[in-house]
Amino acid sequence: MIKMININKQYDLGDTQVRALKDVSLEIQRGEYIAIMGPSGSGKSTLMHILGILDSISSGQYFLEDYEISSLPDKEQARIRNRHFGFIFQSFNLFPELSALENVMLPMSYAGVPWQKRKSRAIELLDEVGLGHRMNHLPTMMSGGEQQRVAIARSLSNEPDLILADEPTGNLPTDKGEEIMQILEKFNKQGVTVVMVTHNPDQGKRANRIINLQDGVLQNELSSNDSIKREDLRAE
């Protein structure tokens, strides 16, 4: 589904050049559930933003379904981003003046979906994340867990190929974070590819594959079974 070859990302901060990613090569298969892990400042969010075409690369190649997209014009990248990717952020990023229903409908309006279809799809998704009874409420009238469920519904509105979740439970208490993890896993089982940035090792182990970053370098990749086996060996 996605192939990244020798991706580099650097930022100029005054006279200082910061290399956020260093020769990262990565493949993502359709239907996978991947956790990106590493310490603060390791490049996790930078990699997530590049995967979602929210940031440009300094060098390297990015293929989506064997189509090289990193050199496309901004307008074409925006079209691909809106059609193929759904985003979930730690801070929810809902529009406070819009109801839950309107927030979920919004990405479909950018995609040119007719109003009635937008509305019916949004209602269906809010029902699926357990918020059918809150569809006309503003974000300020909802708990953090409810806002994140609205964000998940919004991320799925255009039936994306890939959900990118950046610390989706970071602002939530443990029980509400567990609800979000279960919802993501449910949609993954329905065939949606999920890539999640997390600092939580227990959440990382729930993914099929764990990608570890350190100082912008991809250190290793493990299946969740591999990581569990290694922990078991240490315990023995």
Q: What are phi and psi of 147, to 5 degrees?
A: -60, -40
User: Does 45 fall in a domain?
Assistant: yes
Q: How much is the average pLDDT of 155-161?
A: 93
Q: Supply the pLDDT for residue 234.
A: 38
- Is it the case that residue 28 has pLDDT exceeding 90? yes
pLDDT digits 0-9 by tens, 195-208: 999 989 999 999 99
Q: Name the residue with higher pLDDT: 234 or 63.
A: 63
Q: What tokens appear for 33 in the block?
A: 């559930």
Q: Supply the pLDDT for residue 223.
A: 65
User: Does 93 fall in a domain?
Assistant: yes
3-state secondary structure of 178: helix
Q: DSSP for 207-220?
A: SSEEEEEETTEEEE
Q: What residue numbers bound the domain in which 220 lies? A: 31-55+83-235
Residue 226 pLDDT class (50, 70, 90 cuts): low
Instruction: Round to whole Å and give the CA distance between 139 and 99.
Output: 7
User: Does 101 fall in a domain?
Assistant: yes
- Is it the case that residue 233 has pLDDT exceeding 90? no
Q: Supply the pLDDT for residue 56.
A: 92
User: Does 18 fall in a domain?
Assistant: no
Buried b (16+ CB within 10 A) or exposed e, 61-87: ebebeeeebbeeeeeebeeebbebbbb
Residue 5 pLDDT class (50, 70, 90 cuts): very high
Separation in Å, CA 84 to CA 5, 49, 154, 156, 159: 20, 14, 13, 10, 8
Q: Supply the pLDDT for residue 225.
A: 58
**What is the β-pairing status of strands 193-197 and 162-166?**
parallel
Mean residue pLDDT across the chain: 90
Instruction: Round to whole Å and give the CA distance between 101 and 117.
Output: 13
User: Does 76 fall in a domain?
Assistant: no
User: Does 129 fall in a domain?
Assistant: yes
Q: How much is the average pLDDT of 7-17?
A: 89
Residue 142 pLDDT class (50, 70, 90 cuts): very high
Tell me the CATH number at 155.
Answer: 3.40.50.300
pLDDT digits 0-9 by tens, 92-128: 999 999 999 999 999 999 888 999 999 999 999 999 9
Instruction: Round to whole Å and give the CA distance between 197 and 117.
Output: 32
Q: Supply the pLDDT for residue 83.
A: 86
Domain count, the chain: 1
Counting Cβ atoms within 10 Å, is residue 22 exposed (0-12), middle (13-18) or buried (19+)? middle
